[in-house]
Amino acid sequence: MSSATPATQANSKLAAEAGDAARRLAMFEVETPMRRLADLITDEHTLSQISAMVAKIRHHRLLYEEFGLAEIDPHGGRTAINFYGPPGTGKSLAAEAIAGELGLGLIRVNYAEVESKYVGETPKNIKAAFAKASQTGALLFFDEADSILGKRLTNVSQSTDHAVNVSRSVMLLELDRFAGVVVFATNLASNYDPAFTRRILSHVAMPLPDKTARLILWQRHIPSRLPHQLTVDDWRQLADESEGLAGGDILNAVLYAASLIVARDERAAMLTLEDLQTALAVGRRAKQAVGAKA
């Protein structure tokens, strides 16, 4: 028989719960953002939407106390933003830029970090993510948010289905209680549950870059110390030939082309238009083949 008294057992339980809570909080690290709004390369309409959300957060007292918005939005302390669009269009960068612009830390969360095979663990991890953001004042960023904001299941036939719905409900409750800044990003916004959609203040589409944006992306993604022989006409040709590609695709092309030139001749490495065109062709073939239906 155990000789522990009820008080000792209660203290042990409290200590175990405190240790578990501390372990969950430690799962989520606060980063120092390296980006600002000036680093975003997108169209004026998209940038205007993002800037409006930054202004809402930055001038909260003016808007809610002096202008009286608290009368119609008593829970307006929370600002939830959703970025949606094709992969590689800068959704994660935009979240970091908002945090950087506001001088906030950044907590990145993806579903793989909060999801657990053990029933009841995922909701605890969701709560811990919000708790860490509340304690630190950091911007909370959920990447691939459709995995955690997806539609609740109506035909619950097994325990895992019930667990999914519980996690969705906990996410709703935590979002309602949160008084900070939370940003979601997804390639599949149509999968969101309407209950989450209503709680998000601004849904910002992140489009593929136009020709002007692609030209800037090419120029910014090639460091000044990278030896190259690119002319003004070459930059324009690259902007034309990368139509339909995202900023992430252009970044990958530069990385691949730079690897090509050092593999070809490490000592006399020199990036050319032809190298970047080769990298673009490789990238396009990969986008068409990888993940394509058999």
Looking at residue 267, its pLDDT comes to 82
Number of helical H runs and strand E runs in the chain: 12, 5
Quick one: pLDDT at residue 294? 43
Beta bridge partners of 228: 271
Residue 29: partners with Cβ closer than 8 Å, 6 or more residues away: 107
Q: Does residue 1 fall inside a structural domain? A: no
Q: Is pLDDT larger for residue 294 or for residue 39?
A: 39
**Who wins on pLDDT, 154 or 128?**
128
Which residue type occupies 118?
Answer: Y
Q: Which of 205, 239, 256 is the last residue of a domain?
A: 205
Average pLDDT over residues 112-132: 81
Task: Name the strands in the sheet holding 79-84, side by side, starting at the edge strand that comes first in the sequence.
Answer: 106-110, 139-143, 181-186, 79-84, 202-205
| Contact call for residues 207 and 85 (beta carbons, < 8 A) | yes
82 vs 293, residue with greater confidence: 82
Nearest Cα to 204, choosing from 37, 46, 57?
A: 46
Average pLDDT of the residues of the chain:
88
| Claim to verify: residue 97 and residue 173 sit in the same structural domain | yes
Helix, strand, or coil (residue 54): helix
Domain of residue 172: give its range: 14-205
User: CATH number for the domain including 244?
Assistant: 1.10.8.60
Q: Is residue 260 part of a domain?
A: yes
> Is this model's pTM higher than 0.75 or not?
yes
Alpha-carbon dihedral angle through residues 285, 288, 291, 294, given to the nearest 10 degrees = -110
Residues 169 and 218 in one domain: no
What pLDDT, in 10s, does the model give residues 180-224? 999 999 998 888 989 999 999 999 999 999 999 999 999 999 999
Query: In this structure, are 242 and 261 located in the same domain?
Result: yes
At 157, the pLDDT band (50, 70, 90 cuts) reads low
Asked if pLDDT for residue 6 goes beyond 80, the answer is: no
- Of the three residues 162, 177, 205, the one that is the final residue of a domain is 205
